[in-house]
Structure 1
Amino acid sequence: MITPALPPFHDVLRRADIGRPAELPDARHCPPPVFAALVRSDDPRLRHLGLVLLNERVTSGRTGDEEETAELAALLPAVVEGPPESALVLARLHERLGPYRRGLRRPSWRTAELPVRVRIAWLRAELLNEPAVIRTEPRGELLYQAVRELTVARAHRPEQLVSELAAGGDPVLQAAALRLAREGLHAALLAPARVREYLIGLTGVDSASVSAAALAELAEPWAASAPLPADRLSPCLAADAVITRPEAADAALAAAARHGHGGLLRQVLEDPDLPPGLRRRAMELLGDLADREDIGALTAVAAADPLLLGGPAVACLRGLHRRGHFPRDAHVPAVIGLALADHSIPPHEIATVLFTCRQTMLRVLLDADPGDPSWPRRLALLVALAGQGTGELPIG
C-alpha cells in the first residue's frame, strides 16, 4: 500500500516540480525514504517541499513507532539554510522531533541571519527540548516572546521546564511557570503535589502579580488537599506588605480561609493598622471557619466599629448559620446593636440569623422608651421578624 507512493515522488524529483500535483500520495502514509529524497535534494524548492510534507506527517500524529519516528528525526538537516520559510518549518520539526535526535547535532541557528519570528520559533524549540537553556539565555524580548508561546502539552520535560522557569528569577519567566503549572495540572501532565510545590515557591517572589496569582491558585479547592502552613501566608498579611502589595494580601487572605487558618483571619480582623477592606473581608471569611463559641468575641469586635464591621459581621453570622452554629440568647443584644447602628444591614438577615432566639430578639427590640429615635429601625426589624411566619410572636 505504501510502495506505490514512491514513483510519483521520484517523478517530481526528476521534473523539479513542486506544484503538489493531485497524484502525489498523502504525506501521512509515506515511508522515510520518500522524505529523505526530498529533504536531501540539491534543489532548495524541493528541500522546502520535503520539510513541509514531513511537518504534515509529524503534526498528523501518524509518525509510526519510536524507531520510525527516530528515522524521520534523523532526516532533519544539520544546518539552517534556505529561505526563512524553510527555517521556520525546520524549527517546528525540531520542536516536535528533538528528543528522537539522539546523539545528533542541533543546527546552529543563532549564527544564521534569520528574521525575529523565526529566531523565536527556534528558541521555543530549544526550550521545549532542553529547559536548562533558560539558565544561560540572555534575558530579553527574544526569550520573553519564546516563553509566552510555550505550552506544557508540547514540552518533552514539563516538570523540568516549569522548574527552570520558576527558578529564573525573572517576573516574565515566573509568570510563565505559573501558567504552565496550571496547564499541566488541568491536562494531568503534572501531579497536584508537584504543582503545589511550584506555587508555594512562587508566593515569595518579588513580583506582586505573580505572588498574588500563586496565592489565588492555592486558594482553589484542589490545593487544599494538605494544609498550607500559616507561616507561608502571614508575611503577606503584615502591615507593610499589605500596603506595598495589596493584591497579594487579598489572595493570601482567601488562601488562609481555604486552608483553615482562622487564627490568621482573626489577627487581620483585630489589627487596626490594616486596611479596612481587608479587615471586613477577614470578618466575612470567618463565617466558614468560626463556631458558636466565637460569636461573642466576633460581635464585640464589630461593635467597636459597627459602621465598618457591622455588615461583614452579619455576613459572618450567615455563614455560621448555614453551618449550624446559631447565636445564643446572650448574643442577641450585640447583634441588634449592629443592626441599629448600621441601617444598610437588611432587616430580614438579622431576623434570619436570630431566628432561634426570636423570643429574645422581640424583647430586646421592644425594650426602648417611646421617644427613642431608633424606633423606625426597630419597627423595620420587628416587621422582618414577623415575616418569619411562625405566628407565635405577638407582632402586628
Structure 2
Amino acid sequence: MDSSSLAPPVLSDYAINLAARVEAFIRAEIIPYEKDSRRDSHGAPTEALVAEMRDKARAAGVMTPHIRPDGAHLTQRETAIVLISSGLSPLGPVACNTAAPDEGNMYLIGHVASPELKARFLEPLLSGQARSAFFMTEPASDNGAGSDPSMMKTTCRKDGDHWVVNGRKAFITGGVGAAVGIVMAKAEEGACMFLVDLPDPAIQLEHSPNTIDSAMPGGHGTFRIENLRVPAEQMLGEAGEGFKYAQVRLSPARLSHCMRWLGACIRANEIATDYACRREAFGKTLIDHEGVGFMLAENRIELKQCELMIDWCASVLDAGSLATVESSMAKVAVSEALMRAADRCVQVMGGAGVTQDTVVEQIFREVRAFRIYDGPTEVHKWSLAKKIKRDWKAGRS
C-alpha cells in the first residue's frame, strides 16, 4: 500500500483562513470584554453582553464559523482549528456561537431532525439569535442519570397526539435564558428526545448553583418537569432511539470541549511566558531559572500533544466512525494535560497567577471543570478498561 494514502486530507484554505480570522477577531474584539463588568450573580456574561459580542461576530463574519454558509459542517479536523481559535478567550465560544451546549445541540439537530424541525429549532441557533439547553443529567439525590444514562428516571408517555414528560434534571448548562431545549426521557420503547420551546411553564428552575466555572451564560441549573406536553411531531427521531442519537452528539461534542479549552490554555501559556520573560528575581529573569523554564517547556510539549490527539480523533470521526473509544481517550488525555498546563501557568506567575488581574486564574478554574464535564476521567478510564478486557477475550476465542 502506498503510505501516502494513509495521510489525512489536507485542511482546506477556507478553513485555514477562517481560523485565522476567528483568532484575529478574538484577540482584537473579545479579549477586551474579559474586563467588562456586565456579569450575572454567577460571574457569567449577561444576555446583553452576549448579544453585543455576537453582533460584533456577525459584523466580522465569524458567527457560527464551523457551519458553512450553505449549511454544511466543516470536517472535524477543520472544526478543530476554528474552535481552538475561538477558545483563546473564555468569552470567545459564546461570542462566536461555538460554545457548549449549543455547538453540540446544533450538530445533533442537524443530523437527526426533520426539515420542519430544523427550520423551527435549528435556524435560530445557527444565527446566534437563540441559545439552547440539553436536558439529560438528573439529580444525584434522585439516583438519576449522570455518567450512567441508563439510570434515567424522567419518564414520557404517549397521550393522543402529544407526549407527557415528568421528572427532574440537574446541571443543565445554559438552561436559564435558553429558547430551545432538547429533553431526554424514558418511555416503554426506550429513551426518547424531544425538541421544546423555552421557557415553558411546565419546566421550572429549582436551583442554580454557583460553580467553579463562569464562562457559560444560563448557569447549570436543576429543573423540575411537571406534565410537560410535547406535540408528537416534536420528537427528535424515533421513540426508543434516544441513546443512539445521544451517541451521534457525544463524541463530536466531547472533542469540541478539547478544542475550546486547548485554545484557552494556549492563551494562558502565552501570558505566563510573557510574565516569566519579563519578571526578574535573584539576578535574572524567571525563565532563566530552570524550575520555571522547565515548566514552560513542559507546557509547550503537552499543548502540542493535545493538538495532535485532537487532530487524530477528529480524523477518525471524519472517516465515518462514531469514535466512541477514541474520543474517550482524547478527552482523558487532553483534559488531564490541560489541567497540568494551566496549573503550571498559575505557578509560574506566583501571586499574580491567583488574582483576577489576568485571565489565567479563570482558565485554571474552567479547565478543572473540564475534567468532569462530558464524563469524568475515571468513568472514561473504566469504560476503556472494559473495552480492553473485551478485546482480550475476543483475541483468546
TM class by shorter chain equals under 0.3
Higher strand share: 2
TM-score normalised by L of structure 1: 0.21
Q: Which has the higher contact order (CA 8 A, sep 6+)?
A: 2
Which has a greater percent of helix?
1
Higher radius of gyration, 1 or 2: 1
